[in-house]
Structure 1
Amino acid sequence: MKKSSKKLDKIGQLGPFFELDKRRQKAVILLFEDELTDEEIAKNVQRRRSTLDNWKNDDKFKAAQEQYKKLVVKKDFESKALRELVNLLNAKSEMVRLQTAITILKMSGMMSDNSTPELDKAKVRKANAEADIARWRADELTGKNKADDSTVLVNDIGDAEDE
């Protein structure tokens, strides 16, 4: 790879969108903005509607549309999303804080594994709590939960009716 290619790659100037000619790039941009009809876009890039249709069916053009969408989203929303993630680091929920930290680390390239010991422990705690709740509910339905207060309540109602 040439030095100039490496420099371009660092600022995101490589890929299908940048390999298109100026007319196709403009068509990609206008299609993304979604304010003009296909007929108007074709006229704007000085091509026929059928040519635009052919472009839209071309794999490289489709890949260029995907790349452009990601570039726009990154440029317009990445910093706002990151600020929101930083705010979530102070959330009350341990799981939210943990997921946020993992997301930030992944975005920074410092973490790529989908699993961490902390996340695994939190998932186990959650699964155990859900299992305990399910077991309690099942016992409640089958009458295995003979707590003093519920037994007294049932006995009190039963005794009241007998008198």
Structure 2
Amino acid sequence: MKKDKKSILGPFDRLKKSQQTLIRLDFEGNHTNASIASEIGRKNSETVSRWRAQEWYEVGMADYINRQIKTGLKRQALQTTVKLLNANSEMVRLQAATTLLKMAGMLSDNDTPELTRAKIRKANAEADIAERKAEQLTNNVADDLTINIVRNDRSVKDGKANND
């Protein structure tokens, strides 16, 4: 079954040319109601204000903005982010790198480098525990198993861990 061409078009595409022009000019900014009215073939600038209050305007504008971001602005944002990898601020460089990794699907929105390192430490600790349990079972030790875990990333003074 063939789809109707109108059902494939987005909200912006279904608008009249004059309505599309209003949205384009509003997106660009710096246009008066009078200049927009003239551009869309209307004599009264009040028409522009009335059109902006219509539901089709909000839906059409949202569709148009989304398209602009997905096309030209997305490319420009990516180029800017890549340039920020060379910024003077270490924090800016970190944020740019994190953003690029998220865009590439290599890092989720909930991940941070610190959280990733913590997950790796946890996985390593769990692997160590499983290995010790396996050693105990292999040696036929049926007693309760006690495993002492020593963290190597903290300094120790006087036999006590320094958690500073």
| TM-score normalised to structure 2 length | 0.50
Query: Which residue of structure 2 aligns with residue 45 of structure 1?
Result: 40
Contact kept? 1:98, 1:119, Cα under 8 Å: no
Query: Which residue of structure 1 aligns with residue 27 of structure 2?
Result: 32
Q: Distance in 2 between matches of 1:20 and 1:112?
A: 39
Residue type of the alignment partner of 2:31: L
Q: 1:25: Cα distance to partner?
A: 0.3
Structure 2 unaligned runs (5+)? 119-164
Structure 1 residues 99 and 33, CA, compared in 2 at 3 Å: closer, same or farther?
Answer: closer
% identical equivalent positions: 36
Structure 1 residues 90 and 121, CA, compared in 2 at 3 Å: closer, same or farther?
Answer: farther
Structure 1 residues 105 and 17, CA, compared in 2 at 3 Å: closer, same or farther?
Answer: farther
Q: Distance in 1 between matches of 2:55 and 2:114?
A: 39
Structure 1 residues 46 and 88, CA, compared in 2 at 3 Å: closer, same or farther?
Answer: closer
Indicate the SS of the match to 2:108: coil
TM-align CA RMSD = 3.7
Structure 1 unaligned runs (5+)? 9-13, 124-163
Q: Tell whether 2:80 aligns with 1:84.
A: yes
Contact kept? 2:22, 2:40, Cα under 8 Å: yes
Contact kept? 2:98, 2:107, Cα under 8 Å: no
Structure 1 residues 3 and 100, CA, compared in 2 at 3 Å: closer, same or farther?
Answer: farther
Q: 1:104: Cα distance to partner?
A: 1.9
Q: 1:24: Cα distance to partner?
A: 0.2
Query: Which residue of structure 2 aligns with residue 100 of structure 1?
Result: 96
Q: 1:113: Cα distance to partner?
A: 3.3
Structure 1 residues 61 and 4, CA, compared in 2 at 3 Å: closer, same or farther?
Answer: same
Q: Tell whether 2:12 aligns with 1:17.
A: yes
Most deviating of 37-46 and 110-119: 110-119
- Deviations 1:98-121 (Å, cap 9, x if unpaired)? 43233223334x267322263426
Q: 1:19: Cα distance to partner?
A: 2.2
Contact kept? 1:102, 1:111, Cα under 8 Å: no
Equivalent runs, 1:13-162 vs 2, <5 Å: 14-47=9-42, 48-89=44-85, 96-108=92-104, 110=105, 113-116=108-111, 118-120=113-115
Structure with the larger RCO, 1 or 2 (CA within 8 Å, 6+ apart):
1
Q: 1:4: Cα distance to partner?
A: 9.2
Q: 1:70: Cα distance to partner?
A: 4.1
Q: Distance in 2 between matches of 1:3 and 1:98?
A: 47
Q: 1:62: Cα distance to partner?
A: 1.9
